[in-house]
Amino acid sequence: MTNEIDVRKHAEKLQVQLEVKLKGDDTYWSKQVWDESKPLVLVLANYPTDANLLKGDLTGMLIRNGVVEMGQFGGMMIANLFTRPVKHPSDKSLSTAYAEDGMVELVKAAKEADRVIIATGSLPSRSLVAQTRMGEFWNHCKQEHLEKRVTILVNGKGKAVHPLAIRNEPWQFTGWNEDWMKGSKEGN
């Protein structure tokens, strides 16, 4: 029997500031901040869903859980290589899935963050359009001297993964490697 004298009922509260940057059908990023005294992390995924400030999606939930489990960040931004939702990713569909100013906004988000986690999985190795956009993002990071902030989310075997591919594993990272996008042509 638990000693009820030592255990007290209590309520826990946490204020989370939610923000999203939109323009028409384009979602540039979403942000959740729960502790402004701690660093901010940017997680770069593939493309947005129809989620909004209150309606989340599985990828966003997995990203938030992964960031919270790391214990070092007080907030996160989720941005994507592509700013428009994509149902079936192919070079044809991806070639029109981003706003003209999408890369500018992505680089601004990277500059705001203390760390950037690439969590696109195998998409850049399966799509020339995604590989080109990722290369463009990396070149901007180098121009802005952000290289040391960038890491890649990987599985236990060191393969770049999307958060959906490692739902029940702790997050692991590796530094940028010029050849990671040329990995296997199989899915994540």
Predicted local distance difference test score (pLDDT) of residue 188: 40
Report the alpha-carbon angle 55-61-66, nearest 5: 160
DSSP-derived secondary structure for 37-86: TS-EEEEEES---S--SS---HHHHHHHHHHHHH---SEEEEEESSSS--
Predicted local distance difference test score (pLDDT) of residue 1: 55
* C-alpha span between 166 and 129 (Å, rounded): 24
Residue 110 per-residue DSSP state: H
Per residue in 30-80, pLDDT tens? 999 999 999 999 999 999 887 677 778 899 999 999 999 999 999 999 999
User: What is the torsion angle, in degrees rounded to the nearest 10, for the CA atoms of residue 33, residue 20, residue 50 and residue 155?
Assistant: -50
Predicted local distance difference test score (pLDDT) of residue 182: 66
Predicted local distance difference test score (pLDDT) of residue 83: 96
Which residues of the chain are modeled with pLDDT < 70?
Answer: 1-4, 51, 178-188
Q: Is the pTM of this model over 0.75?
A: yes
Q: What is the mean pLDDT of the chain?
A: 90
